[in-house]
Amino acid sequence: MTTPNRIILDKYLRHNKKFPHIWCPGCGIGIVLAALLRAIDRTGWTKDEIVLVSGIGCSSRAPVYVDFNTLHTAHGRALPFATGIKAARPPLKVIVFTGDGDCAAIGGNHLIHACRRNIDITTVVVNNYIYGMTGGQQSPTTPEGMKATTATRGVIDQPFHIAELAASAGATFAARSTTYHAKELESFILKGLEHKGFSLVEAISQAPVCFGRRNGMGDPVEMVKREKELAIPISKTAGMTFEEKKDKIVTGIIEEREAQEWTDLYAGVKKTAGEE
Amino acid sequence: MAKANVKRKVVIYRDWCKQCGICSTFCPTGCIVKEEDGYPFPRYIEKCIGCRLCELRCPEFAITVEEWEKSK
Ligand SMILES: Cc1ncc(C[n+]2csc(CCOP(=O)(O)OP(=O)(O)O)c2C)c(N)n1
Ligand code: SF4
Ligand code: SF4
Ligand code: SF4
Ligand SMILES: [Mg+2]
């Protein structure tokens, strides 16, 4: 049974914050945050042992609303802060909540190196294909041909696929789902939280105001329908060419494997160095 | 699906609802409808199967689905 909304309201939302939250009507960020909160509830972890870290962006505002140890850092730098926290206090459960711009543009370098270290942090990325907060500039995930304020005639660059990027950089768990598939999204986040090592869950999300509107995608409902139509489970992609997959949303667990985790390795180094 | 001894309530908190239409559109049974004033309302509650998809997909934390056993 998934956690009832009543528990989310009572236990996890900060009651001194103004609700409804700041996000635009129908924006998917709230759906992703709700999925994260339900997944957290299922782990049985206490709020005091959880640290939620974000950078800057509409997505990165999420920690403001929830009652954990939270850190709202500088644009692109959630992972370096999270890495510092985890290195200093390995027993803490460190979670990063970020956006496609925050983690794949300005923070892209931090992302690949966090993956490479396989440090035990779970990163949830809201991929709405755009820099939402600043009004709709092209991000590294904006699909080719789509319009943005900085690509008024359509994007000519190839997009990153964040989950695959993370997996090839060394993340030992990487998965993708969408706000339409909120239940699956929750289950992937739960797997990511329980995974030992670096885990990343990419949540494809609708941004009706700063992205959909400019690209004639209709209202939030139409955008969510689009996720449903474009989604294809990874199990059905065998034999598909890159071109055939290009315009789809491949959902599922992209990577799941075991490898030595960084804070364990570092503890070993400290021991041999005589620091105990 | 519709268990005879189960009663359900879909509570929609209007103060937080931003009328996005996601809950009513994707409710698999047509229990929730968008009213003339733009707000969703569980008008056909007898159709509700308690799948809670409305609750999971509401971006505003505005929906709670309650379910309990009917006393005889
Ligand atoms: C160093 C720095 N550069 C640029 C900005 C401006 N800025 C704020 S949010 C943002 C992009 C956020 O995009 P994303 O992470 O995708 O979040 P979204 O708003 O789409 O959820 C940018 C470029 C900033 N705040 N700081
Ligand atoms: S500006 Fe875009 S990303 Fe930000 S809340 Fe509005 S729709 Fe969502
Ligand atoms: S629980 Fe399911 S059937 Fe009932 S109102 Fe919500 S979406 Fe519709
Ligand atoms: S999904 Fe939530 S915000 Fe959207 S119409 Fe339904 S109750 Fe309102
Ligand atoms: Mg974005």
- Testing ligand 2's pocket by substitution, the residue of A133, A139, A213 carrying the most ligand atoms inside 8 A of its CB is A133
Q: Which of A122, A127, A45 has its CA nearest to residue A83?
A: A122
- Residue-range domains of chain A with CATH: 5-275 (3.40.50.970)
Architecture of domain B6-66: 2-Layer Sandwich (3.30)
A contact residues 161-190, partner B, Cβ 8 Å cutoff: 179-180, 182-183, 186
Write out the E strands in A223-275: 231-233, 249-256
Task: For residue B59, say if its preceding peptide bond is cis, omega within 30 degrees of 0.
Answer: no
pLDDT, one tens digit per residue, over A193-223 is 999 999 999 999 999 999 999 999 999 999 9
| A224 contacts B57? CB cut-off 8 A | yes
Which strand (E) or helix (H) includes residue B34? strand B33-34
Please give the DSSP secondary-structure letter assigned to residue A103. Answer: I
- Helices and strands per DSSP (H, E), number in chain B: 2, 4
Sign of CA dihedral A101, A104, A110, A116: positive
Output the tens digit of pLDDT for each of chain A's 276 residues: 678 999 999 999 999 999 999 999 999 999 999 999 999 999 999 999 999 999 999 999 999 999 999 999 999 999 999 999 999 999 999 999 999 999 999 999 999 999 999 999 999 999 999 999 999 999 999 999 999 999 999 999 999 999 999 999 999 999 999 999 999 999 999 999 999 999 999 999 999 999 999 999 999 999 999 999 999 999 999 999 999 999 999 999 999 999 999 999 999 999 999 876
SS3 A11: helix
Q: List the single best residue of A1, A6, A221 to mutate versus B (max B Cβ within 10 A).
A: A221
Using alpha carbons only, what angle is made at residue A38 by residues A37 and A44, rounded to the nearest 5 degrees?
A: 95
**Cβ A4–B26 below 8 Å, yes or no?**
no
Return the ligand 4 atom nearest residue B34 CA: 5
Residue A208 DSSP code: I
**Cβ-based neighbour number of residue A244 at 10 Å:** 11
Structure tokens, B19: 């009328």
The residues facing A256 across adjacent strands are: A173
Q: What is the ipTM of this complex?
A: 0.95
Question: Which residues touch A253 (CB under 8 Å, ≥6 apart)?
Answer: A173, A174, A175, A188, A191, A234
The CA-based dihedral angle spanning residues A118, A120, A126, A131, taken in that order and rounded to the nearest 10 degrees:
-60
Report how far residue A25's alpha carbon sits from residue A152's, in angstroms, rounded to the nearest whole number: 24
Q: Which ligand is nearest to the CA of A57?
A: 1
A103, amino acid identity: C
